[in-house]
Amino acid sequence: MTHLSGPTATPTSIPDVLVLEPRVFRDERGHFLESFNQRDFERATGLNRQFVQDNESRSLRNVVRGLHFQTRRPQGKLVRVTAGEIFDVAVDLRGGSPTFGKWVGLTLSSQNFRQLWVPEGFAHGFMVMSEYADVHYKMTEYYDPQHESAIAWNDSEIGIDWPKMEGVILHQRDATAPALRDVDIPFQVAP
């Protein structure tokens, strides 16, 4: 079998956040793609990351998960949707970054096959736009419940332009998450 060419990686308005688009082979039977290949990920992104944990969630329409991060052992996340559609968001929490407090959002779906690389030092969240969505995350660090944290999904100072604001379904932790200005952020941009 010949090697499949890898994904393309496109920087967003926050250059460290990348959109990956795999090569998809379609025919009358359906489609085929490599959802992850370490060598091709490194080649496309220039990043050398080891993924140590895979997570999957299913959420119903209007569910918002996030904005989550770990205060120690921050996680880089490679996010994709295997069923449905979400509006996916990354918020820069790196102190000293020119994009601190800024956000990037885009639609990920099982139809567009896009993946979002959310680097360490970012908060991550999403809103489900379809009847339900299955979201798959590759993580660069293990989940650590002692250091999990969140900021408010609707923090007016961040100003995320969510597709809708009414009828949102939240977990209690996300519903009571503090604003960014009230959180002690431990991340710094490397000099």
* Residues near 134 by beta carbon (within 8 Å), at least 6 away in sequence: 56, 57, 58, 81, 82, 83, 84, 110
Q: Hey, is 99 helix, strand or coil? A: coil
Cα 84 to Cα 135: distance, rounded to the nearest angstrom: 9
Active site residues: 68, 137
Name residue, tokens 């009230």.
182
CA distance 10 to 164: 26
**Eight-class DSSP state of 118:** E
How many whole angstroms separate alpha carbon 146 and alpha carbon 89? 23
Which alpha helices (H) appear in the chain, and where do they start and end?
38-45, 172-175
